[in-house]
Chain A
Amino acid sequence: MDCDPRSLLETVVTEGCFEAMGLAALLQPVVDRHRRDPRQLLQILRAAQEVLGYLPAVALTAIADAVDLPRARVEGVAGFYSFLHLTPVGRYRVLFSDNITDRMLGSGELLDRLCNKLWIERGKVSEDGLVSVDTTSCTGMGDQGPALLVNGRPMTRMSAERIDWISELIRGQAALDDWPREFFVVDDNIQRRDALLTTRWPAGEALRTALARGRSAMLAEMQRANLRGRGGAGFTTHIKWESARRATTRGERATRYVVCNADEGEPGTFKDRVLLASYADLVFDGMTIAGFTIGAEQGLLYLRGEYAWLLPALDENLVRRRRDGLLGGQICGQADLSFDIEIHVGAGAYVCGEETALLESLEGKRGVPRIRPPFPVHAGYLGQPTVVNNVETLCKAALIALRGGDWFAGLGTKQSTGTKLLSISGDVERPGVYEYPFGVSVSQVLSDCGADNAQAVQVGGPSGACLAMHEFMRRIAFEDVPTAGAFMVFGAQRDMFEVARNFSHFFAHESCGFCTPCRVGTSLVANCMDKIANGHGSQYEINEIFRIHRLLHAASHCGLGQSACNPLLDTLTKFRPAYERRLRSLDFEPAFDLDQALAGARQMTGRDDPAAHFGQPARMPGGER
């Protein structure tokens, strides 16, 4: 095909209908680029959407045929991910990051402002198909919000002026490349450097040191370092590597895999973004070292869809590394050593950060967590032994190769060795990435980042813990306050109920829906919180939240459901008045707004007499809400 896809697209799409022949021509290069491999389905769907704007039913049929999968399964995958669309979306698709820290910076008002300027309703496509405006889960820009994505490209530090400008650009149909460059600037914002962020070694240095040490010695260094995973669960890394190394491979394509978890979906976390943007060589060195140590020949990096803008630079880096003999066959001149890295891009699903859901997604499926056992180290990607590690964990492994395990173990505390990157955002003077040795106290961190009137800190994101003032002397460490890196600060003026409500909606939106308690429970809880927010809550709702929490904590299939009610529980115990002042009664309030339930009938009958209302006196004619 040497025809310009853009003009072809215009002839193929007529009034939303796709002409089958032309469609096949458009899709062919996409599926061919991915070898018509069903395991590449998610990547194919992403690429097809790039070309078509969205994924119409005929396109799903064509893709299913091309990769030889049942059509329903292709539709099932397309229907799972937030960034894939089965119905038309605007040519400009604006998604405001909806984390609480963005909201605290006024993202809600900015969203309304943009909608008003563009004469559109939130979540709906404008009639001319030009634009749609909606929200999305945290885009990982908490240090430079309010942030948004426009057609997948990040924009930071939104303000009323910028929004007005954007609305003009959209109405003028300016190409994104012609928008002011400064809108798209993403800063690293590194505020405190320690062992990792002061590293300035050339690409491949860590890898060469590891190769010189040899497999067993490298593993021994990892053991001495006692590195624990930085992705949240805190599993000891050398045990994971050792298990995968010992696990048997199966079938013809018998090999092991190293997977780098760059899904960074936990709201308020953005330290992996900085590592990928400015320390990519350390990440790739770490992956290659892991591959060498466990005997894997393939590495996969799962990049969250929100970070797709990092892809070109990462791909370039991989090309450079291949050229420099750091990837591919004969790594660093060692004849028997081959390892390569492939990047897969996600499509808006927090649950895909859970390691088994991530593996499913890598295999081109719906991101649903697997049944465990078996664990990935025994049967992971394509059923082969697989190590899944967080971006930061792999950087730390590279550091250990360079500096040795004993040196690493000398940093931090006995049970939590080394340093930890914190993503600090919220009510602080200097948001950004801070690297500390483990064991630092919360109050120390608060004073370093300039948070003088904090009433609470959410450590580890919504699924972590909410600390109140009396807990600020606690320490960041696995044995005290563990964290995957998020550190959101809430000043005294903030309403902790609204914080928890934002989180409850996050979990309801991100539940994969696999298991009953989380699928239904997260939505029930979000509805309870809305009811309380609307002034219709009672003690009954609070009791319901506790009850649902106990169930979700015990019976959910994965960590998402198990921790979904944590922020509510924390705020309910530590900031109870924030809830209680909203309660209408201590007993019971209807599940829905009684007066509102009559609104439809009032409108149809034109009545506004007292009997046409509940709870309040009749309003003036025409005073319908």
Chain B
Amino acid sequence: MNAAVDRKKPRLATTSLAGCFGCHTSLLDIDERLFDLVERVDFDRSPLTDTKQCASCDIGLVEGGLCNAENILVLHEFRRNCKLLVALGACAINGGLPAQRNHLDLGQCLQEVYLTGPGIVGGQIPNDPELPLPLDKVRPIHEVVRVDYFIPGCPPSGDAIWKFLTDLLDGRTPRLGYPLLHFD
């Protein structure tokens, strides 16, 4: 492999925070175009590569919103390392399904789940420092870091993701026109 050419290949990292991996599945949905993609980018940290730490990257795709402290740490890691940060899918963009807990009080939630819910005897709210603490509300990622691009959809279609990435890689301003732009 030619190292000089290789260095020019943009690096792509992806992660799923408070999401359902649906957006990642959609990324795989670009089918045989995946081969083109692998030709054109190198994957860094991603569930697809199992790399756990993000190195300096060109593009970071973030699926899912923020529901706990760890989500925020990972998001910060992505923001630090990625030149362009992309919110991928509804949950990253407005909190999505997990954010529908936002009208409930976190304390009451925890209490009910671990202490007072049906069938619970002698329960305890886990306090292991290894476990990330939940946030009082689930938040979209743009409320915590600057986000450069957004790909809406639940999940965004493979076509939408492909269009976005190829626009970006070809040096065009990414644009999802109708009908690729979808919120559902």
Contacts and interface: CB of A to CB of B under 8 A. Distances in A.
- A touches B in complex, CB < 8 A: yes
A599 B110 CA distance: 13
Given A587-B146, A590-B143, A611-B69, A601 B129 contact: no
| From A587, A599, A600, A609, residue with most partner B Cβ within 10 Å | A600
Interface string A591-607: 11010111111111111
Contacts of A601: 106, 110, 133-136
A614 B132 CA distance: 12
A20 B111 CA distance: 41
Contact of B139 (A588, A592, A596, A605): A592
A614 B143 CA distance: 15
Given A604-B125, A611-B129, A599 B136 contact: yes
Given A592-B143, A594-B144, A600 B106 contact: yes
B69 A614 contact: yes
Interface in A501-558: 540
A18 to B, nearest CB: 30
Contact of B144 (A587, A591, A607, A609): A591
Contacts of B137: 592, 597
Given A607-B127, A609-B129, A614-B72, A597 B135 contact: yes
B90 to A, nearest CB: 18
A332 interface: no
How big is chain B's contact interface, by range?
Answer: 20 to 34
Contacts of B177: none
A612 interface: yes
Interface string A545-578: 0000000000000000000000000000000000
Contacts of B132: 611
- Main secondary structure, interface of B, reads mixed
Contacts of A605: 110, 125-127, 133
B118 interface: no
A588 B148 CA distance: 12
B122 interface: no
Nearest to A591: B143
A604 B145 contact: no
B72 A594 contact: yes
B18 to A, nearest CB: 14
B107 interface: yes
Contact of A598 (B69, B107, B144, B145): B69
B146 A588 contact: yes
A588 B129 CA distance: 29
| From A604, A607, A609, A611, residue with most partner B Cβ within 10 Å | A604
A612 B133 CA distance: 6
A609 B129 CA distance: 7
A612 B135 contact: no
A612 B72 contact: no
A543 to B, nearest CB: 12
A591 B139 CA distance: 10
A125 B125 CA distance: 34
Interface string B104-120: 01110011000000000
A603 B125 CA distance: 11
B127 A603 contact: no
Contacts of B125: 604-605
B136 A600 contact: yes
A313 B71 CA distance: 65
Given A605-B133, A607-B129, A612-B133, A600 B107 contact: yes
Given A591-B143, A601-B135, 4 more contacts: A601-B110, A603-B107, A609-B129, A611-B129
Interface of B: 69, 72, 105-107, 110-111, 125-127, 129, 132-137, 139, 143-146
Interface of A: 540, 587-588, 590-592, 594, 596-607, 609, 611-612, 614
5 contacts: A590-B143, A590-B144, A591-B143, A592-B139, A614-B72
